[in-house]
Amino acid sequence: SLPPPPTDLASICSTDSITLPGGYQKCEALCSRAECCFLPQGHWFSCTGSTGTGSSFESGGVGGAAAEECTEYQEVCAVLDGYGSAAGAPSSSAGDGATNMGVQVEIPSAQINLGEICSPDSLATPHGFDECTSTCEVARCCSQPI
C-alpha cells in the first residue's frame, strides 16, 4: 500500500535541501516509496488510474486519500527531475547522456516499435513485460545513479 507522505516532504525536497550534501538522496528515498504514483496508467505496478489530468483517479487506481497522497508525491517530487543524483546538484547537461560527474554514457536509439513493445496491453502479459524490460535494458543506466 502507498505510505502517506511525511509531513516534512516539501521541506526535505525543496530546491535548497536537495542541493545540500545527501539532500538529493534523502528526497529520492522518500519519493521512491511512492514509485507507483509516477508510472503510467496501465503499467502493471502503477497505482494511478489517472484520467489524464494527473489529479483525478478512476476506479481501478487509487482513490480518496490515496489519490491525494499520489498527487502530493507527484507535485513535490517533481523537483528531482531537474537534478542529477550522482552529486546532488543541478545537472547542466540533462538529456545529453552526460552526468554532472563527467561520466559520458552513450545509449543507442530506441527501437522504432518501442511503443508497441511496451504498450499497456503488452505490459499486461508476463511475456510482454519481459520483452519490454529486455528491450529497455540498454537504457537502464538513465534511470539509475551512475
Q: What secondary structure does DSSP assign to 25-74, as a single string?
A: HHHHHHHHTTGGGGSPTTSTT----B-SSSS-B-BTB--THHHHHHHHHH
Q: Give Dmax (Cα) for the chain.
A: 45
Instruction: Check whether 33 has a pLDDT greater than 60.
Output: yes
pLDDT for the residue numbered 30: 92
Read off the C-alpha cell for 17.
535541501
What lies within 8 Å, CB to CB, of 85 at 6+ separation is 24, 25, 28, 145
* Span 42-72, pLDDT tens digits: 777 777 764 343 333 333 444 455 778 888 9
The residues with which 135 forms a beta bridge, in sequence order, are: none
* Span 95-125, pLDDT tens digits: 333 334 344 556 778 888 999 999 999 888 9
Strands 83-84 and 89-90 come out as: antiparallel
pTM of the model as a whole: 0.49
Residue with cell 535548497: 16
pLDDT for the residue numbered 73: 92
